[in-house]
Chains A and B, each alone.
Chain A
């Protein structure tokens, strides 16, 4: 389960330099920053909104629902530092974008997050 999954064609980055897509229960935001392709979770850990709904501006994504702001550099949440968005490993090959959904083996849903609650 730690293998790379094909998320989409490289061309899907156009015309906005970003796109988001669901794959196997993960909503992933892929974007180009300073010539590098990056990916973070598109699910805002506040209430679940889409981080990449608006086009990135000045290196920052603003979630549609409640305007939580995220650094495109590393997914850090600028509104609440405890709610950073998880980065995904990305590879580009054969004209496609591949992401690694899992770096750890599967677990039961009852396990607690190591990231912990961020609080309001």
Chain B
């Protein structure tokens, strides 16, 4: 056997706890990443581990495939995800490093276990994983930044922001940031059929995230 290895990393203007929330928030896969994921199933989930089945299209080679992924929080700075594909197994390590208040480094290592004769494909593997990392990062980054922003404004899941709901102005005494606790598993939406999630539409006109406040 041989291992195809690649490593990708980027810095992020949010706490590493928000990144953990993002990884364990499986329901966003067919929403935020609707161009790459068709559907997924949460097979089992408890506390800080989960087993999911995902259906997606690989970058560059365009292969449509699926895999079972067992993901768990090994420690507060490391998420591990083992993907069992049709023939191959990939071990993914996501290292999270605090770089200060609401800033962190995300470094992902991809290891694909293959027969030894496939070792020459490591260059292709690096290109595929880099493309995947960048594509999903481009969609996850604004999600994480927004999550951090609304959290710091006092957002509570399934409630919203109190002063918005109460039709009041933003409180002058609102702290600039608040601690973000990791609470797993991330709550799921009830009523979706048997835990299966599918892409809601084939195409969409993307208007985009809100414009920033004018100075």
Contact = CB atoms under 8 A, between A and B. Distances in A.
Interface in B151-167: 151, 153-167
Chain A interface size, under 10 / 10 to 19 / 20 to 34 / 35 or more = 35 or more
B158 A107 contact: no
B181 interface: no
A107 B168 contact: yes
Interface string A107-118: 111011111111
Contact of B166 (A29, A43, A114): A114
Q: How large is the interface on B (under 10, 10 to 19, 20 to 34, 35 or more residues)?
A: 35 or more
Contact of B207 (A1, A55, A83, A103): A55
Contacts of B167: 86, 102-104
B206 to A, nearest CB: 6
Given A54-B205, A104-B168, A118 B159 contact: yes
A15 to B, nearest CB: 10
Interface string A69-87: 0000000000110110010
Contacts of B190: 120
Interface stretch (B4-12, B27-35, B107-115): B27-35
Contacts of A67: 30-31, 200
A120 B158 contact: yes
Given A19-B211, A49-B146, A24 B158 contact: no
Contacts of A23: 213
A55 B26 CA distance: 24
A78 to B, nearest CB: 12
A48 B31 contact: no
Contact of B31 (A66, A80, A86, A111): A66
Contact residues of A: prevailing secondary structure: loop
Interface in B183-215: 187-190, 200-201, 204-213
Interface in A15-46: 16, 18-29, 41-43, 45-46
A113 B159 contact: yes
B52 interface: no
B179 interface: no
A92 interface: no
A108 B189 contact: no
Contacts of B146: 48-50
Contacts of B213: 21-24
B58 interface: no
Interface string B108-130: 00000000000000000000000
A26 B170 contact: yes
Interface of B: 25, 27-28, 30-32, 143, 146-147, 150-151, 153-174, 187-190, 200-201, 204-213
22 contacts: A19-B211, A27-B210, A46-B157, A47-B147, A52-B207, A53-B207, A53-B208, A55-B204, A65-B27, A65-B28, A65-B143, A67-B200, A103-B167, A103-B168, A104-B167, A109-B171, A109-B174, A112-B162, A114-B165, A117-B158, A120-B158, A120-B190
Given A27-B150, A47-B25, 12 more contacts: A22-B212, A25-B163, A26-B170, A45-B165, A48-B151, A49-B143, A53-B207, A55-B205, A55-B207, A106-B169, A115-B165, A120-B187
